[in-house]
Amino acid sequence: MISRELKDEQKGKKILFITTASEVEEGDKQWLEEDRNSLINIGLKIIDYTITGKNQNYFIKDFKDIHYVFVSGGNAFYLLEKAQQSGFINFINEYMQKDNVYFGSSAGACIAGPDIYPLLNVDNAEKAPNLNGYKGFGFIDIFIFPHWGSKDFKELYLNHGLEQAYSNKYKLILLTDYQYLSVNDDGSYKIIDIK
């Protein structure tokens, strides 16, 4: 997860909970409910949202008076494709220049970096047949590998995932499911353990 730490006066505010990346995922999506409940537990009011089928006009209206956005996990390639098609990439960059807060979990954390190419052997790019490149939101210059140490990802990462990222082109941070990256406005960051 990527976030900035919340202050007490920020609690009780509305947060758009963007579930787009989960739209093509099958099976139990308990992780989505866990993310939703985590945000409720820190005092935020959830508004479920998707960027699929939307455009700049929707975003301008729907993000009015919203200062927090959460982008959930799921398929990062599908998420990026929908962000490209809708113009959300440009919108979210303008949104973040206005002192708003971005939270990202799994795919939502990966897409916050410069690009998602390191995920090529980890995630299913076939779910995004109209993807136009791998450039992410670019909030940070680091690529995040989420779920490090998780038994569900061990074989995938060790046998395939890190191979794509093994390059001096990428700055990598491996985060467990019990860590998040807290990023300051000046670009400095720290890894926070939550367990």
Q: What is the pLDDT of residues 68-124, one digit of tens each?
A: 999 999 999 999 999 999 999 999 999 999 989 999 999 999 999 999 998 888 889
Q: What is the count of structural domains for the chain?
A: 1
Q: What percent of the chain has pLDDT over 70?
A: 93
- Pull the structure tokens for residue 175: 């985060």
pLDDT band at 187 (very low <50, low <70, confident <90, very high): confident
- 1 pLDDT above the threshold of 50: no
Furthest C-alpha separation in the chain:
45
Residue 182: which domain range?
A: 2-193
For strand 68-71 and strand 101-104, is the pairing parallel, antiparallel, or unpaired? parallel
Q: What pLDDT, on a 0 to 100 scale, did the predictor assign at position 47? A: 97
Q: What pLDDT, on a 0 to 100 scale, did the predictor assign at position 3? A: 45
Query: Between these two residues, 69 and 159, which has the higher pLDDT value?
Result: 69
What φ, ψ does residue 113 adopt, rounded to 5°? -85, -170
Please tell me the distance from the alpha carbon of residue 75 to that of residue 17, in angstroms, as a whole number: 16
pLDDT band at 42 (very low <50, low <70, confident <90, very high): confident
> Do the beta carbons of residue 19 and residue 39 sit within 8 Å?
no
CATH number, residue 62: 3.40.50.880
